[in-house]
Amino acid sequence: MKSLLLFLLSLSSAFAIEQADVVVVTANPAGVAAAVAAAKSGAKVIVLEESAHVGGIIAGGLTNTDIRKHGAVGGLYNEFKRRIVEHYTKTYGAESRQVKVCKGGNMFEAHIAEKTFRDMLAAEKNITLLERRRVVAARVIGSDGMERNATPGKRMDGAKPKEFGPTVKLVSITAEDLNKPGSRTEFRATTFIDCTYEGDLAALAGVPYRVGREGRGDFGEPHAGNIYLRFKDYNPLPGSTGAADDGIQAFCFRFHLTKDKANSVPIEKPPGFNRDDYQHLLDDIRAGKVKRLRDAIQLYEMPNDKWEVNSEHNVAGGDSPSESLDLAEENYAWPEASPEERARIFQRYWSHNEGLIWLLGNDPECPQELRDDVKQWGFPKDEFTDNRHRPHHIYVRQGRRIWGEYTLNQLDAKPVFETGLPRRQPDGISIVEFEFDSHGVTKFNPKYPGVREGYVFIGHDPFQIPYRAVVPKCVDGLLVPVACSATHIGYSALRMEPVFMALGEACGIAAMQAQSSGTTVRAVDVKLAQREIVKRGGVILYENTALVPEDL
């Protein structure tokens, strides 16, 4: 009967149809984990990736793993780390500098990360990876049993609305082959897993979502909304209003630099360079705060004489640069933007980021000592070889966040009276262990020296992410492990790639648990999924005695 249905559908369609048990959208770390986990459960899996690369931002430059308590994340993330260590050990020797610098698989070269993710996909015979495929349409079945084109989800900011609308079931998506414009394929599956950083499939399928910051009163979060805060301080500074707005964390590129002249290409003055972008940084240089490259940006050592770059934070009472690589405000449109608008924002950010390094090495107002220091560096020749050695991904720290059956927020880290630890979630599938860590949300304001509005960095005990946070309102047959249900502050702690991998793995397991039991992923027996997660080395509960501020 199913074959007949597919045949009849193909007769009325101008494009091909493919069938799978699970379709995963985006081959970033969460997508790889979701696909591998589902395939290990016996699923036929199709992975659709819009770019020509696998591994998302990790393969795009984020090679310094953000994780504090390594026992809080296991499963396929441990498999990834094992493969990284194995590569450097086999290639350079167990006692090599490369093995030492890779830090147990938590620090690596971007192209090695991509190869590792590709190897993990290739190891599962039931996975088909299709690159350069952009999802452009979705079809659903409503309560009337009729199939139709999905109505896109609505943006609903603030506290929980009273009415989300009817629930539909996602049954197919259509993707365009970007190598063959106009060529489209429809993909039908029992379950779809949206691993995009922006929640693109979820929104297309009809899931309501939020963008921007909640206000302090929406969920009772003490650090929500507009805020000025010192590093590791829990007391909002004067000027903090706690008001909601459209702001999201600043983006930047996590590009790589090297002093190895045999393996480097020069940093150039990019098209669109605008010296006015760096006036606050130039003020810091004039004041003597920036004397070498490390004073303006963060540098993390990678194997093979390379260094990963990140934006430096203004967190030390004015000792750090007023602004760095994070370009706030100009990314606000990204979550809901068209591909063309995202491409424009991407180029603007790259012009700003490479332009900053070029300025430090060439501008006549920069002291000769600073220019000489910067001139030592170049982009590694063996990274991003198809993109002029520049990253092919920008660090999207925050996109859409779906409305799910549970909204993770700052109060989930609040200790309960009986134990002094965060409350346990009956459907916990993963752990949040990194600090609440929001990069700046608005541009530097000289009226508030020493801080950037929106920057938050607050410690907490590890707490659980419930399965309900990846189950969207209004749409069945879909799980969302990356653009999951959380407030701005809640998401700032969750948004780390090892956590995304853990959530992706849990979604892959849950998808096949549901299919095996003949139910939907919304109604799956989570306890069965939890047992399978743990069986595969995943972590669903992790408790320790790290100090938590009383006013959290």
The phi and psi torsions of 176 (rounded to 5 degrees) equal: -90, 140
Nearest CA to 476 among 168, 207, 201? Answer: 168
Question: What pLDDT is stored for residue 229 in this prediction?
Answer: 92
pLDDT > 60? residue 138: yes
pLDDT > 80? residue 52: yes
For residue 302, give every residue at least 6 positions away whose Cβ sits within 8 Å of its Cβ, in sequence order, or none: 63, 64, 101, 107, 108, 109, 256, 308
Distance (Å, whole) CA 391 – CA 383: 8
Q: How do residues 237-270 score in pLDDT, each as one tens digit?
A: 999 999 999 999 999 999 999 999 999 999 999 9
Residue 473 pLDDT level (bands cut at 50, 70, 90): very high
Beta strands in 45-203 (DSSP E): 45-49, 127-131, 133-141, 147-149, 168-177, 184-194
Distance (Å, whole) CA 45 – CA 35: 6
Overall residue count recorded for the chain in this entry: 552
Segments of the chain assigned to CATH 3.50.50.60: 15-211+399-535
Nearest CA to 213 among 243, 189, 174, 185? Answer: 243
pLDDT > 70? residue 317: no
Average pLDDT of the residues in 227-235: 88
Task: Write out the two tokens for 454.
Answer: 């929106």
| 35 to 103, 128, 186, 302, 419: CA distances (angstroms) | 26, 9, 19, 28, 37
Average pLDDT of the residues in 100-127: 98
Q: Is 94 exposed, middle or buried (0-12, 13-18, 19+ CB in 10 A)?
A: exposed
pLDDT > 60? residue 5: no
Question: What pLDDT is stored for residue 319 in this prediction?
Answer: 64
Residue 315 pLDDT level (bands cut at 50, 70, 90): low
pLDDT > 60? residue 114: yes
Mean pLDDT, the chain, whole residue set: 94
* 496 dihedral zone (left: phi>0; alpha: psi -120 to 50; beta): beta
What does DSSP assign to residue 477?
A: S
Average pLDDT of the residues in 116-120: 98
- pTM equals 0.95
3-state secondary structure 373-397: HHHCCEEECCCCCCCCCCCCCCECC
Q: Specify which of 156-170, 318-332, 485-499 reaches the highest per-range mean pLDDT.
A: 485-499
Question: What amino acid is encoded at 33 in this protein?
Answer: A
Question: What amino acid is encoded at 513 in this protein?
Answer: Q
pLDDT > 90? residue 316: no
CATH fold of 15-211+399-535 reads FAD/NAD(P)-binding domain (3.50.50)
